[in-house]
Amino acid sequence: MPKRYKEEFKTMHNVFDQFTDRNIFKLISEGHFDGLIGPINLGKESNTFVAKKGDEKVLLKIYRLQNCDFNRMYDYIKYDPRYQHLKKRRREIIFAWCQREFRNLLKARELGIAVPKPITFKFNILVMELIGDPAPKLKDMPPSNPQECYEKILLSMKKLYKSGLVHSDLSPFNILMENDIPYIIDWSQCTSKENPLAKEYLKRDIKNIYHYFNKFNLSITLEQMEKKIKGK
Ligand SMILES: Nc1ncnc2c1ncn2[C@@H]1O[C@H](COP(=O)(O)OP(=O)(O)O)[C@@H](O)[C@H]1O
Ligand SMILES: [Mg+2]
């Protein structure tokens, strides 16, 4: 590692707690990436970073162990049948949140939905493919063909629903545009259809997508969207 790079790396690591820092180094020694390049986003529950891997780059999503609204996280996960036995303990919830995003990404990929390829996770750290360098969000990058883009997203929602899941945080903020492909990101809230709140989440996802694409004068309605997603 060049000296300058080492210095920057050290500075960046000062922001992590010891536990996270240790696990970043473990992931490096396991060969998942070589080091951090810089932050992309500081979010409510997690921060995202670009990391270097040889000549390539990967994305790190690091869930914060401190300063996160873990009550909200618990409320979101407790009804997911896959996490029914989870105790309301801060760390357990944060780790489950990270694991759930990894599992959901794997599942979505299996279903043929365009998502970043999940690479690995360790406790509160998730490593995945970096889309673009990084790619812009749909909200900032109108698609060249709105109808086509809308249909791709609708098909993804349908595939997901058919497999028994609802994204639950779908909006133009969580879709990245790369080569005109809408990549759906931010999968930690994605829950099972059995979740008693899943119907509400689906409605909200549909509304967010509808409001975005309605601006392009496509002939769509909320009812039509719901029917298509739930249809055979
Ligand atoms: N795989 C990825 N490739 C490129 N950028 C990403 C990727 N995942 C996340 N990002 C960027 O990081 C931001 C935050 O990630 P996200 O998963 O949406 O977490 P949050 O819960 O903070 O919204 C995204 O809005 C996007 O700009
Ligand atoms: Mg997001």
Q: Which ligand is nearest to the CA of 41?
A: 1
Burial label, 77 (beta-carbon count in 10 A; 0-12, 13-18, 19+): buried
Output phi, psi for 61, to 5 deg.
Answer: -115, 115
Distance 1 CA to ligand 2 centre (A): 31
Nearest CA owner, ligand 1 atom 22 = 43
Is residue 58 within 8 Å of residue 51, measured between CB atoms? yes
pLDDT per residue as tens digits for the range 50-108: 999 999 999 999 999 987 788 889 988 999 989 988 999 999 999 999 999 999 999 99
Is residue 149 within 8 Å of residue 48, measured between CB atoms? no
Domains of the chain: 3-129 (3.30.200.20), 138-230 (1.10.510.10)
Ligand 1 atom closest to the Cα of residue 116 is 1
Ligand 1 atom closest to the Cα of residue 46 is 22
Question: Is the pLDDT confidence value at 2 over 60?
Answer: no
Mean pLDDT of 165-190: 98
Q: With cut-offs at 50, 70 and 90, classify the pLDDT of residue 10.
A: low
Helix (H) or strand (E) holding 229: helix 222-230
Output phi, psi for 125, to 5 deg.
Answer: -120, 125
Distance 232 CA to ligand 1 centre (A): 31
Taking the mean position of all CA atoms in its chain, how far away is CA 18? 25
Catalytic residue flag (residue 169): yes
Q: Which ligand is nearest to the CA of 58?
A: 1
Catalytic residue flag (residue 186): yes
Distance 72 CA to ligand 1 centre (A): 19
